[in-house]
Amino acid sequence: MKITEIPVTCLVEARDKLGEGCFWDAANECLWWLDIIEPSAIHRLHVASGAYRRWQFSEKVTAMAKRRDGTLLVGSQKGLNVFDPETGALSPWRAIDPETPGNRGNDGACDARGRFWFGTMMNNIGPLGEDLPITAATGKLFRIDADGTPTVMESGIGVSNGPCWSPDNRTFYFTDSMAQIIWAYDFDLDSGAISNKRVLNDTKDYGYPDGAAVDGEGFIWSARWEGSCVLRIAPDGRLDRVVPMPARRVTNVCFGGARLDTIYVTTSRLHVAEVDLRRHPLQGGLFCFDPGVSGFEKHAFAG
């Protein structure tokens, strides 16, 4: 394992309270990401031109995926919504986990069949953005089929994060940030079933694992909350590389660019200590770096 000092660029000084949910939209050559804490926001950046737009919402938005008609599937505090960039409307579609009203949505991504994997967790954000304690592992992992049918795939989760898949679609990776564990499962692409849960990586040396993406060589890139870095983890769980970041709270990563060989990184600045803000004043921004390997565009939702 080596520490790799790679030049890191801040593309947008977004000052996100809790940046998250990034994905590359190849058809439109733009990068989407969001800010979870109210007033929450969806951001869009056309990287080549620098054209940037931001939409605000009164409900927490926490995860996104493309839809084939140009709209977005958006996970939020209460469930799933459809966002229309043409009108700016965020329309409720499906309630998720109403049986656990103390939970909120968190990270999500689509598999190669277009099913949306969406995790919940105990709500840890107060109405004024204050931190609330997570006192129980009440989170769940849902698989949302194209017709909106939710299926609980896992429960007992502290903080749901980082759903992603191996290049051959035979392994599913999922992170419980509170437990500081990245799990691996056998994955059946046809049925959408997971099995044979095991620990892929549980290092405690680099903060908390957050969002994740897989590169073309099958390595997992893990954003590290409170770790000031992004880790590259081998398919056998071995730490391969540490990429330092100019932010303490690194939240999510995705591959993008014309050749899918750029990693984009979201960060958070809310409640970061003043000494850390002085050291890294661009925290909360959207960053990027060249990892030396290409990855994959995230899949669109099938519905």
Q: So which residues are the catalytic ones? A: 210
User: Residue 164 pairs with which residues in a beta bridge?
Assistant: 173
Residue 197: CB atoms within 10 A of its CB come to 12
The vertex-150 CA angle with 149 and 151, nearest 5°, equals 120
User: Most distant CA pair in the chain: distance in Å?
Assistant: 50
Judge contact between 105 and 78, C-beta under 8 A: yes
What strands lie across the sheet with 116-122, from one edge to the other? Answer: 103-110, 116-122, 139-144, 150-157
Give the C-alpha separation, 250 to 19, whole Å. 9
Give the C-alpha separation, 138 to 105, whole Å. 12
Query: In terms of DSSP H, where are the helices of the chain?
Result: 274-279
Give the C-alpha separation, 189 to 300, whole Å. 15
Chain position carrying tokens 């970061």: 272
In angstroms, the Cα distances linking 231 to 71, 92, 100, 160, 224 are: 32, 35, 33, 18, 7
Tokens of 52: 């940037």
Residue 277's SS3 state is helix
Tokens of 117: 């994997």
Q: Distance from first CA to last CA of the chain, Å, rounded? A: 41
Judge contact between 239 and 8, C-beta under 8 A: no
